[in-house]
Chains A and B, each alone.
Chain A
C-alpha cells in the first residue's frame, strides 16, 4: 500500500463530494447535509487508515510522497507528502470537518442563501486544508495557501452575521496582503534557487546559498504572511471580526485549522529555509509573541461579545504557539505542534457550544445571558470543560502543550517565559468571568426557557471533550508522531537543546 496516493485521495474525496453536494437539485437540503457529513466521515476514515500506515521513525523526511511535474519550466511540481507535524494537522482537519458539519446542521436554514452551498463550501475547504498541509512544493503550498481564502471568504461573506461583508473583506484584504508578500518571496526564492524542473521542491530549497540581506528579505516575506494568517500581534485585528461574524462552523475551521497554516508555515518553511534569518529575527518575534500572549488575554477580558472573546483568547494562544516555535528547542516546537492540535479541539468546543447558546437566544452579547446552568446544566457543564481547556487546566490536553511551550522557552529565554506564564492567570480570569456572567446567577427573562443540549449537539461536543481529556492524560500517541519531525527540523536549523545548568549525575535522571 505504500505506493497508494493516500494524500491525493484524501484531498480528492471532499473535492468530488463538494461538487456532488453543489450539484444536488434545489430543495434537497437534508440530503445535502447528509451527503456532506457522510463524505467528511469517509475522509476521516481514510485519514485514520493512512495514519496507521505512518511510520514515525522512518528515515525519509516525508511519507506518502507523490511527486509529479506540473510546470517544469518554472520548477513547479505537484508534490505531496507528510511528516509527523503535517500528519497531526491533517488529522485535526479531518476530525473537525464532520464535527462542524454536524454542528452546523441548522445554522444556515434561515439565511436566504443556498443551504447546500454552505456544506459544499465546507467540503471544498477541507480539500484545501488537506492540501496545504501536505504540499511539499513551495509553490504548490503558496497556491493552496491563497486558494483557501476563497471558500472562507464566501462562508463569512454569505453566511455570516450582520457585519459579514465588512468582516469578509477585511479578512480577504489582510490575507491577500500577506499572500502577496509571500508571492514576492516565493519568486525571490526561485531566483536564488538552483533552478531545474524540481526547483520548488521543499528538499531542493533547503540549504540555499543566500546573501544575508536576501535571506532576511525572503524571511520577512514569508514570516509576514504567516504572522497575518496565524495571526500574531499587531496584525491580528482581522480575526475578531472574521471569527465573530462567521457562522460557528466556519469560525471553528477558520481559527481551529486555517490559522494553523500560519504557525505551521513558520515551523515548516521559515525556520528550515532561512535558518540564519530566523535566528536574526528571533528577538523581535519572541517579543511580539509575548506581547500577543498578554495583549490577547487582556483584550479577551474586556470583551462583551462571546465570539469576539474567544477570538481574542486565540490571539493569546497563537502567541504561545509562535513562542514555542521560535524558542528553537524540542520542547518548544513539539509543544507548539501539539498546541496547534489541542487548540483546534479546544476552540472548536468553545465556538460550537457558544454557537449553540447563541442559536437559542439570538445574541452574542454576554450581558444577555445569566443563570444558564440552572436551566441547561449539560450546556453549561460542557461549556465549562471547554473553557477549562482554554485556560489549560492540568489534566486536559492543552496543559501538556502549553507547559511544553513554556518550559521549552524557559531554557533559552527566561524572561519571555515568565511573562508568558502570566498569561495563565489572565486566562483564568477571561474564562471564569465569562462563565460567571453567562452561566451562574438566577436565570434571566431571556434565558429562563433555554433548552439543554439536544442529542445532535451532544454528539458534536462529546468527541471533542473526549479528545481533550484523553490527550491530557495520555498525549504519547501524538507526541510520538510529532517528536521525530521536530527533531529533524531542529537539525535543519542547526539547533540543539540547551543542557541543564547543573550537570545531572548518571543514573539519577528519571
Chain B
C-alpha cells in the first residue's frame, strides 16, 4: 500500500496569543465542577446556569482558536502549551503540557459544541430533579476531563483525562444510584474500563522502557527506530485501552447497562464523545501503528466484529436507549475499523466520529424527549404514532435516522460510505472480508434504525393508559433542531469538499489514489441497495404488521441478540464466578492456611501446642523470653559460621 506518511508535527510551536489560553478550555468547566460539587445546596439556584456557561465559554475559546488555526499555514497548526513539570524522577520526565492541533481541535469543538447543547437540553430535562445542580457539576467534570484527554501532549497526561472521563461516566451512570441496578451498572462500567486502562498503563510502560519517553513528540520521533515487536506490543495494549473506553469487543458489555444514566448523559458521554476516545487514541498513535501492521490488523478485526455485534444486538432491543446504545457500539466499530486501515481510513474515522456525534446525540436527546413525554417509559412496544403529537422531536429524529442509515446526501452517507470504500481497499482476502462486513453492517443498520424509528413514531398508538405524550419545552427542542441541522449538512460540508481530509492531513498523513477491490460506483450502488432492503424489511415487519405489546419469543438469533449475544453470561461464567470462587477460597485459606501456619510456627517456637486463639496476655512474657533465647542461638550460629 503506497502511503506517504507525514510524520506528525506534534512538537508544536510555543503557544502565544489566543493559544496561551488553551489551559482555560479545561479550567473553566473544571471550575464549574468544583463550585457545583463543593458549593452544595447554596449553588442550587444558579447551578444549571453556571454549569452551562462554562462549556459554552470553552466553546467560544475553541472557536476563536479554530479560526486562528485556519489563518495559519497547514504545517504550523500545531501549538504546544507547556504548563509545568508534573513528574520528574531520573530520566522519567513528564510535563503537564497541552497540544492544540487539527486533530484535537476537531474534538474540542465537538465536545464543547455538542456538550453545550446537551447542557442546555439538560436544564429542561432535569428540571424536576432535586439534584440537578450535582448533575451539572458532574457534567462539567466530564467536559473538563474529556478536554484534557484530547489536549494532552503526552500519554501520561492523556491518562489523567482518560480515567477522569471514566470517573465522570461512573458518577453519571450511577446518578440515580438509589436504584440498585443503576449502581451496579456504574461499577460495571468502571471496572470494564479499568481492564482497558490496564492496557494503557502497560503501553506507557513499554514506551518508557523501549523509548525512554512518554510524550507524543518523543514517542513518535523514536517510533521508526523501535523494533516492530515493541511497536506491536504497544499497539495491542493501546487497542485494549480503546476497547474498554469505546465499548469494543470483547470489553463491550458495559455500554448497554450504562444507559442507566440520565438520557443527556447517554447522548454526551455514551454516544457523542467519551466512547469515541478509543478512536482518538488509535489515530493519535498513528506513528506507532504504522510500524506495527499486525496490531493494525487486530484493530480492524476488532472493529469489524464489533460493528456486526452491535448491529445484531440492535435489531432485537425493545428498549429505545439500549437499541441506540447497540447502534453506538456498532458505529464506533466502523470508526475503529477505519482507524485500523491506516492513512486511508484515519480521516474518515474522524469524519464519521464527528457526524455520528451529531446524529447520535440528536437521536439520544430525541429519545429523551420521547421519554419526557411518556413518563420515562423506554419500551418501544409501548410507543407508536408519536409523530403527530411530538412534531419537532419527530422531525429532528427523522433527520438523524436518515443520516445514520446513510440516506444519500445526508451526513452518514458521506462519512460511513467512505469507510466502506476504505475497507475495500487493498489486496488479497482482507478487502473482501472487511469490506463485506462493513457492507452488511450498513444493511443491518438500516433495518434496526428503521425499526426503531417506525416503532416509536409511526404505526398505531400502543401507549399505556397513564401517558399523555406532549412535545418537550423549547429549551429541549432547540438543541434538537441544531443537532438535526448538523446531522443533515455536516457531511455535505466536510465530505465532498475534501475539507476534513485536507484539514487532518498534516496530523494523520495522506494517501495517494487507492484502488478498491470493486469500483466505487458499484460499492455505492450496493450500499444504497442494502440500505433499501433493510428499510423495506423493517417497514414490512413493523409498520405493515401490528407490533405486539409483548415481544414474541422469536428465533434463536433474536433471543440471543436480545440477551446481547450472551456477553454477560460469558463474562459471568468465565470471570465472575471463578473470581468469586477464588476470592472465597482465598479468604478461607488466609484465615486457616497462612494465618494457621504462621500461628503454628509461633506456637512451636513458644514451645506450646495450645491454640493461638486462646492466648492470654500472660503468655507474652514467656513468648518473648523464648524468642530471645532463639535470637541468642541465632547469634551463636552466626558467630560460629565465621563472622
Contacts and interface: CB of A to CB of B under 8 A. Distances in A.
B643 A395 contact: no
Interface in B126-179: 154, 156, 159-160, 162-164, 167, 170, 174, 177-179
A334 B584 contact: no
A381 B86 CA distance: 27
A393 B167 contact: yes
A64 B167 CA distance: 44
Given A183-B631, A510-B154, A424 B178 contact: no
B178 A440 contact: yes
A371 interface: yes
Given A213-B641, A500-B212, A406 B205 contact: yes
A451 interface: no
Interface in A438-453: 439-442
B215 interface: yes
A111 interface: no
A299 B590 contact: yes
Contacts of A174: 598, 602
Contacts of A168: 617
A96 to B, nearest CB: 24
Contact of A299 (B191, B586, B616, B642): B586
A165 B194 contact: no
Contacts of A172: 620
Interface in A174-206: 174, 176-177, 180-181, 183-184, 187-188, 191-192
Given A166-B615, A411-B208, A505-B222, A441 B598 contact: no
A330 interface: yes
Given A237-B595, A425-B191, A508-B221, A169 B638 contact: no
A501 interface: yes
A191 B641 contact: no
Interface stretch (B47-55, B87-95, B297-305, B404-412): B87-95
B320 interface: no
B45 interface: no
28 contacts: A176-B623, A188-B643, A192-B643, A217-B641, A237-B598, A302-B584, A302-B587, A329-B90, A330-B89, A330-B90, A331-B90, A394-B163, A394-B164, A395-B160, A403-B201, A440-B174, A440-B177, A475-B86, A479-B87, A483-B90, A501-B227, A501-B230, A502-B222, A504-B212, A504-B218, A505-B221, A509-B218, A510-B93
A497 interface: yes
Contact of B594 (A183, A192, A237, A417): A237
A355 B641 CA distance: 51
A217 B642 CA distance: 12
Interface stretch (B104-112, B180-188, B485-493, B519-527): B180-188
Contacts of B160: 394-395, 399
Interface in B577-608: 582-584, 586-587, 590, 594-595, 597-599, 602, 605
A454 interface: no
B187 A432 contact: yes
Interface of A: 157, 165-166, 168-170, 172-174, 176-177, 180-181, 183-184, 187-188, 191-192, 211, 213-214, 217-218, 221, 233-237, 295, 298-299, 301-303, 329-331, 334-335, 371, 373-374, 381, 388, 393-395, 399-400, 403-404, 406-408, 410-411, 414, 417-418, 421-422, 424-425, 428-429, 432-433, 435-436, 439-442, 473-476, 479, 483, 486-487, 497-505, 508-510
A302 B187 contact: no
Nearest to A490: B90
Interface of B: 11, 37, 84-93, 95-96, 154, 156, 159-160, 162-164, 167, 170, 174, 177-180, 183-184, 186-187, 190-191, 194-195, 197-198, 201-202, 204-206, 208-213, 215, 217-218, 221-222, 225-227, 230, 582-584, 586-587, 590, 594-595, 597-599, 602, 605, 612-613, 615-617, 619-620, 623-624, 627-628, 630-632, 634-635, 638-639, 641-643
Nearest to B612: A170
B191 A184 contact: no
A452 to B, nearest CB: 11
A428 B631 contact: no
Given A183-B631, A237-B595, A501-B230, A331 B605 contact: no
A169 B615 contact: yes
For the complex, would chain A's binding face be called helix, strand, loop or mixed by DSSP majority? Answer: helix
A509 B197 contact: no
B214 to A, nearest CB: 8
B149 to A, nearest CB: 11
A373 B174 CA distance: 11
A298 B225 contact: no
The majority secondary structure among interface residues of chain B is helix
Nearest 8 A/B pairs, CB to CB: A500-B212, A330-B90, A440-B183, A180-B631, A237-B595, A302-B583, A410-B205, A440-B177
A166 B184 contact: no
B586 A441 contact: no
Contacts of B627: 176-177, 180
A8 B160 CA distance: 42
A451 B201 CA distance: 40
Contacts of A301: 583
Given A184-B638, A424-B197, A407 B213 contact: no
B29 to A, nearest CB: 14
Given A436-B183, A502-B222, A509-B212, A176 B624 contact: yes
Contacts of B590: 237, 295, 299
A274 B225 CA distance: 39
Given A407-B92, A410-B205, A509-B213, A395 B87 contact: no
Determine which residue in B226, B615, B627 has the highest number of CB atoms from chain A within 10 A of its CB, and name it.
B627
Contacts of B222: 502, 504-505, 508
A388 B164 CA distance: 11
Given A331-B92, A395-B164, A487-B90, 6 more contacts: A331-B90, A403-B156, A414-B209, A417-B205, A501-B227, A508-B221
